[in-house]
Structure 1
Amino acid sequence: MSASSSAANDAKEAKTYGGCEGPDATYVKLVSSDGHQFFIKKVPKQRYSPTAYELALTSGTIKAMLSGPGQYSENESNEVNFREIPSHVLQKVCQYFAYKVRYTSSATEIPEFNITPEVALELLMAANFLDC
C-alpha cells in the first residue's frame, strides 16, 4: 500500500466518522452538570432529508443553540453544557430523542417510553427547558 493510498483511506475513515467539530459535524456533544458526555447524531444541513432526522434537532433549545453563526459559542465545537441537568436525566433525554426519531410517523405499534417515578419530575423540567 502506498503512502498516498494510506492517506486517502485515513481521510475516508475520518470523513465517515465526522466528529463533533465545525459546522459540518456529524455529532453534537451534550455535557451534563456532573461532567458526563453524551454524543448524539447531528446530520449537516446539506445532507438533511425527512428520512434522516437529526437527533439533536429533536430539542428546540439545542436547535436554537446550534443554528445561526456566532449566536452561541457552542456552535463552533458543537458542544452544549447543561449546568442544571444531571447525567441520569440527560441520559434519559438522549434515549427519548432516539425513541422520538424512531417512532415519529411509524406504521408499527409504538411501545411505551418508560419513565421511573424517581426521575419523572427532573425529566419533566429538562423536557420543558429543552423544548422537546
Structure 2
Amino acid sequence: MSADAPSGADFVKLVSAEGHEFFVTRKVAMVSGTIRAMLESSMKEANSGVIPFPEISTAVLEKTIQYCHYKLRYTNSTTKIPEFKIEPDMALELLMSSNYLDL
C-alpha cells in the first residue's frame, strides 16, 4: 500500500436493513450528527467502524449517503448550489432517516 492510499480507518461501513454494505469516508459519514457521536464515543461502532441501520432500507441509506456528499460539497460554497433531487415516493422515509441521523 502506498503512503497516499487511505487506510481502513479512513472509511466507515454503513449497513442497511437488507444487509447492503456502503463504504464511505469517515469525513462524509461524520456529516451526520448521529454517526459522528457513534464514532467519537466508546461504542463498539467506534472500534469496528461498522454501523448497522436495521431500520433504514438500502435505497434510503444510499440516498442519505448521497446527501451527505452533497452537504459536504456545498456547505459554505460560493458556487451556485444545484437542487438535490428527491423522488416523492421516498420523501417520507428520507425525512425520518435524516431526522434520526441528525442531518
TM-score range, shorter chain: over 0.9
Higher relative contact order (CA 8 A, sep 6+): 2
Question: Matches of 2:89 and 2:30 in 1, distance apart?
Answer: 27
Shift of 1:55: 0.9
Q: Aligned residue for 2:17? A: 33
- Residue 6 of structure 2 is matched in structure 1 by 17
Instruction: Output the amino acid matched with 2:30.
Output: L
Aligned residues: 103
Equivalents in 2 of 1:84, 1:40: separation in Å? 19
User: Which structure: larger Rg?
Assistant: 1
| CA-CA distance at 1:99 after TM superposition | 0.3
Q: CA deviation at 1:77?
A: 1.2
Percent identical pairs in the alignment equals 50
* CA drift at 1:39: 1.0
Q: Are residue 89 (structure 1) and residue 60 (structure 2) matched?
A: yes
Cα RMSD (Å): 1.2
TM-score (norm 2): 0.94
SS at match of 1:34: coil
1:16 partner SS: coil
Q: In structure 1, the residue corresponding to 2:78 is in which secondary structure? A: coil
Query: For 1:17 and 1:103, how far apart are their aligned partners in 2?
Result: 23
2:44 is the counterpart of 1:73: yes
Gaps of 5+ in 1: 1-9, 20-24, 43-53
Cα deviation digits, residues 73-104 of structure 1 (max 9, x gap)? 11111110001000000000000000001111
